[in-house]
Each structure stands twice: as C-alpha cells, then as structure tokens.
Structure 1
Amino acid sequence: MGTIKLKNIRVYAYHGCLVEEGKIGSDYRVDLSVKADLSKSAQTDDLADTVDYVHLNLIVKQEMAIRSKLLEQVAKRILDRILIEIPIVKLAKVEVSKINPPIGGNVAMVTIEMLKKRKDL
C-alpha cells in the first residue's frame, strides 16, 4: 500500500451560505491524499498501473467549480468521484479550506476534512 498526496491545490470558487459569497467568490485550498496498492506501478513504471495525479487534480477543479453552500458537500463530491473513477484507490482523504473566511474575525482559513473508504474492503 502506498500514498499519493496533492498539497495546496489553489482554486477560486463561489461556495458559502451568504449570497455575496456566490457573487464575489473566494480563495480555497484543497489537500488530497489517496491510498492504493502502488507495488505494480513500481515494477512496471507504467502510468496505467497507478493513480494519475493529473486525474485527481482535474476532479478537484471540476467539483470546486460547482457552487455549494457547505464545504462538506464539495468534499463529499470529490471523494465520491475519486472512488468511482479510480478503482485502484482504496481510501481517500480530502481537506477543503476557505482562505480568509467572512466570519467576523481575523481567521486565516477554515478547513473541513473528510475521509472515505472503498466499501468492498
């Protein structure tokens, strides 16, 4: 088993419960970690035998582009797509952070973290 991580994926998106957030948008950070059996790709040196991190990045960008009120909804969609589209992945963890959230204080970011395992484990 091995781990592939994508750190600090920067996205501009329009999530939030406030109407203004849907119009103005905000900066977001996404961190992603997936666990998979990487032993075959380590032997074959073939992209088809591993988790393509370009595919992971594309999933994140596409799901972040769909407006949601809650970051939990965005994270769930990201996790669901990873497990559906990349069969080698056994477990995925995503952190979605809103940079400078409008919460009436000096807060650098707010982060939600979610984890999902493949059901057939």
Structure 2
Amino acid sequence: MASKLHQLQSKASQASQFVAKHGSAYYKQLLENNKQHIVEPATVEKCQELSKQLFYTRLASIPGRYEAFWKELDGVKQIWKNRKELKVEDAGLAALFGIELYAWFCVGEIAGRGFTFTGYYP
C-alpha cells in the first residue's frame, strides 16, 4: 500500500511539474485560438449584457425544445404501440440505455455526496 501511495505521489508530482511548465503556454494558445469569442473591453456592463442575452436566448428556445420533446414522446408511443414488431436487438439496445441511465444516476448520487457511501460502518 505504501508503494502505491509513493507511486501516486510521484505521478502527481510529475503532473504538477508538467502543468507548471506547459500550463502558461497552453493558456495563451487557448486564448489566441478563441480570441473571436473574447469581448473587448471586458467591463461589468458588457458581462451583464452578455448574461442577459444568454438568459433570454435560452428562455426563447423553450418552445422549440418543448415541441421537440413532444415529438420524441410521440415517437416512443408509436414504438410502444408496435412493440410486437420490435426486434430483439432494439429491445436490448433500449435496455442497455436504461441501465446506463440508472448507472449514471447512481454515480451522480455518489458524487453529490462527496464520493461517500452511505450505510453501516463497523
């Protein structure tokens, strides 16, 4: 166990050194590649304006997303009506998708608790 801890510390040290050496260059390159998205001058007023634009743009997109949701739901209803014609592969894919969703839910719950497991601890 102590050797694994030493290996982990060594890897963390190497990663830290790599970030210290290359982090600044990566940051500069990232800003340079995305300079078309940077608003100059960066003032509080401009940030508030952009925040409002984002909020109201998202708000305006709700009707389109609402319509898409109902179309998707109608498609699921149609599949359910014709479930006797459903292939085994499609049913297996749907089951796998459901299991994956449940697994992500469980992982999300664990992450939300700070990666702790609840239950009896002797």
TM-score of Structure 1 vs Structure 2, range by shorter chain? under 0.3
TM-score norm. by structure 1 comes to 0.24
Greater percentage in helix: 2
TM-score norm. by structure 2 comes to 0.23
